[in-house]
Copies of this chain bind each other. A is one copy, B any other.
């Protein structure tokens, strides 16, 4: 429901990166005089260029191309701009079919071209004055990319680079990139046995393994309890429903490309739900509601399915099936500010609980195409702003970026390596209440349309787990750790005691397990470290005799033997407090 936020841009960096893409193209041209060129824009961290080349590039080509780029930078070649008639442009790019295609799509009669050294490109610019201004860049990867992203077009070779204003910024970035690769949730998800995605079952469909499912259950319980405390009601709605409902809602018209094809059942068409809203509306409408009953807040961990091209799927963060931590609030318009303020409070409490301390808030206003009345839009947008201000939250306006059905607030949080994640979203909806006639009887005895709010605070269980894995680098805080304590008997004669501790932990809901393998203590500690288990309880003769445990923390810290009962009490306290720190 929430389009990803556009990155915020630094213009000078963007110009530098875009210019670097031209230098990349010039370097490639020098190696492949018959190269045909696609496009070469700046990206969030650098740039890329798409090439049609006589042979596939390999990673070994990158240093060669990069060295050539450095030569061109050292030569400090000026960028010069020219305007050409389309006719002249066509003859200039006569051997460049992709450029010719682009020329035809330009509305103006004149087209701009930029030249530096031996390379000339169809380009709106702007660019740096000369190649010497390019300070710090590096080519990082090669990927296949269909021309214009369309799988029916030829596959081009895309070379990615990163570029920064200083060598230091580049070095920091590359170090961060390495750290991010270490934390990649797909890699850690496999190493820590959290989840799997199976080609034979279908891409983008996540299977949660016991350890991942344990984390999910802990989060879900926390989420449900917190929602209960804040006056939400849990509901469950089916995953399929008649297509007619989605025609009424407008989704079949506006959102069809993300929905799966209908299934025929006894002559009626059914679809798999891409959203949970309609089920909640049907529950709302099972009785005539009075103004006294409102607000009603229906919460559901609702699993939805949306079509995404297989090419864009990515681990847990871009999938085809996901469980939204969804809720819909039905309220009166005079309650909207309180409700939005309440959601903001809940959302930031949740984000904070998981340790995401950096976040940005965006208020998106009316887009060009919209449903509903301009005045209602303005009032609702003001209401959202007032709710933000009441919570003394700084926010940016994202003009025209609201959904067609209403204004919204998005919260983006950063993980420990500075990457942004789409977080909570709060959307006002003027469309569905009208289409489904969702109303209440006011104090005046008349029917009034409800104000409807869609909101998620985690987004989806899948994407949120991805962010958590990367944020914690797989070392989950104790309350979330799939295994909270491993009991390590030193010798076989300590196994009985170890089992007793395990049973005592589990009987109180603590996730303890014994490592009963015939291995050395060191090997067992090593395994627990790899699995990032927070506490290792080593038990030998002394511990058995004194009913104690010697505790080793995941951090490497050793804690002297202490009564097991004390340890258990402390551990339970740490879990209950949802502490993010590893301590004892």
Interface contact A235-B207, CB-CB below 8 Å: yes
Answer whether A205 and B241 are a contact pair too, CB < 8 Å, given A261-B263, A282-B198. Answer: yes
**Once bound together, how far apart are the Cα atoms of A286 and B198, in whole Å?**
9
Is A210 at the interface (CB under 8 A from chain B)? yes
Q: B residues within 8 A CB of A205?
A: 238, 240-241
Q: Determine whether the beta carbon of B509 is less than 8 Å from that of A239.
A: no
The one of B235, B240, B244, B279 that contacts A210, using a Cβ cutoff of 8 Å: B235
Max chain B Cβ within 10 angstroms of own Cβ: one of A193, A198, A292: A198
In the complex, whether A233 has a CB less than 8 A from a CB of chain B is: yes
- Output the nearest chain B residue to A262 by Cβ-Cβ distance: B263
| B242, B286, B292, B323: the one within 8 Å of A209 (CB) | B286
Instruction: Report whether A509 and B310 are in contact in the complex, using a CB–CB cutoff of 8 Å.
Output: no
Are A213 and B233 closer than 8 Å at their CB atoms? yes
Report the Cα distance A561→B106, complex, angstroms. Answer: 83
Among A27-35, A67-75, A223-231, A444-452, the stretch in contact with B: A223-231
Q: Which residues of B contact A255 (CB under 8 A)?
A: none
Residues of B within 8 A of A286 (CB): 193, 196, 209
Is A201 an interface residue when CB atoms closer than 8 A count as contact? yes
A216 touches B236 (CB 8 A): yes
**Other than the known A207-B235, A239-B305, what 12 A-B pairs have Cβ atoms closer than 8 Å?**
A202-B265, A208-B235, A209-B283, A210-B233, A210-B235, A210-B298, A213-B233, A213-B236, A217-B224, A225-B509, A229-B506, A240-B305
A506, B226: Cα distance in complex, Å = 11
Q: Say whether A321 faces chain B, with CB atoms less than 8 Å apart.
A: yes
Contact of A240 among B236, B279, B321 (CB under 8 A): B321
Closest-CB distance, A212 to chain B (whole angstroms): 8
Interface residues of A (CB under 8 A from B): 193, 196, 198, 200-202, 205-210, 213-214, 216-217, 221, 224-225, 228-229, 233-242, 244-245, 260-261, 263-266, 268, 270, 272, 278-279, 282-283, 286-287, 292, 298, 303, 305, 307, 309-310, 321, 323, 506-507, 509, 517
A228-B509, A229-B506, A310-B266 given; A200·B245 CB < 8 A: yes
Nearest Cβ on chain B to A387's Cβ, whole angstroms: 23
- Tell me whether B236 and A239 are in contact (CB under 8 A): no
Residue of B nearest to A211 (CB): B233
Q: How far is the CA of A208 from the CA of B279 in the complex (A)?
A: 10
Assembly stoichiometry (copies): 2
- The smallest C-beta distance from A466 to any residue of chain B, in angstroms, reads 15
From residue A451, how far is it (CB to closest CB) to chain B in Å? 20
With a CB–CB cut-off of 8 A, which chain B residues contact A207?
A: 235-238, 279, 282-283
Alpha-carbon distance A34/B258, docked complex (angstroms): 59
Q: Is the CB of A263 within 8 A of B263?
A: yes
Q: Within the assembled complex, what's the spacing in Å between the Cα atoms of A303 and B240?
A: 11
Q: Is there contact, CB below 8 Å, between A264 and B261?
A: yes
Query: When chains A and B are docked, how far (Å) is the Cα of A265 from the Cα of B259?
Result: 10
Q: What are 17 A-B pairs with beta-carbon distances under 8 A?
A: A196-B282, A198-B282, A201-B245, A202-B242, A202-B265, A205-B241, A207-B238, A209-B283, A210-B234, A228-B509, A238-B321, A239-B321, A240-B260, A240-B321, A260-B265, A261-B264, A266-B310
A228 contact set on B, CB distance < 8 A:
506, 509
Query: Which chain B positions have C-beta within 8 A of A282?
Result: 196, 198, 200-201, 207
Residues of B within 8 A of A310 (CB): 266
Closest to A518 in B: B292
* A210 / chain B contacts, CB cutoff of 8 Å: 233-235, 298
Give A272 to B509 CA distance when docked, in angstroms: 34
CB distance from A295 to the nearest CB of B (A): 13
A229 near B272 with CB under 8 A, answer no
Interface pair A244/B200, CB less than 8 Å apart? yes
Tell me, in angstroms, the Cα distance from A112 to B207 when the chains sit together.
Answer: 59
CB-CB under 8 A from A268, the residues of chain B are 202
Distance, CA A317 to CA B210, complexed state (A): 30
Q: In this complex, which of A193, A210, A238, A266 has the most chain B Cβ atoms within 10 angstroms of its Cβ?
A: A238
Residues of chain B with a CB closer than 8 A to A209's CB? 235, 283, 286
Give the Cβ gap from A489 to chain B, nearest Cβ, in Å.
16
Complex-state Cα separation, A228 to B205, whole angstroms: 25
Chain B residue with the shortest CB-CB distance to A199: B242
Q: Is the CB of B260 within 8 A of A237?
A: no
Across the two chains, which residue of chain B brings its CB closest to A323? B236
Chain B, Cβ-Cβ closest to A244: B200
B217 touches A237 (CB 8 A): no
The 4 closest A-B pairs by CB, nearest first: A210-B233, A208-B236, A205-B238, A213-B234
Q: Give CA–CA (A201, B234) in the complex, Å.
A: 20
Cross-chain contact of A237 among B208, B240, B292, B517 (Cβ < 8 A): B208
Cα distance A323–B237 in the bound complex, in angstroms:
11
Task: Please indicate the chain B residues that have their CB under 8 angstroms from the CB of A321 in the complex.
Answer: 238-240
Q: Which residues of B contact A263 (CB under 8 A)?
A: 260-261, 263, 272
| A279 contacts across to B, CB distance below 8 A | 201, 207
On whether A241 and B208 interact (CB within 8 A), knowing A234-B217, A235-B213, A286-B196, the answer reads no
A208 to B202, CA, bound (A): 29
**Contacting A200 at CB < 8 Å: which of B200, B233, B242, B260?**
B242
A305 to B279, CA, bound (A): 17
* Interface contact B206-A238, CB-CB below 8 Å: yes
A564 to B58, CA, bound (A): 75
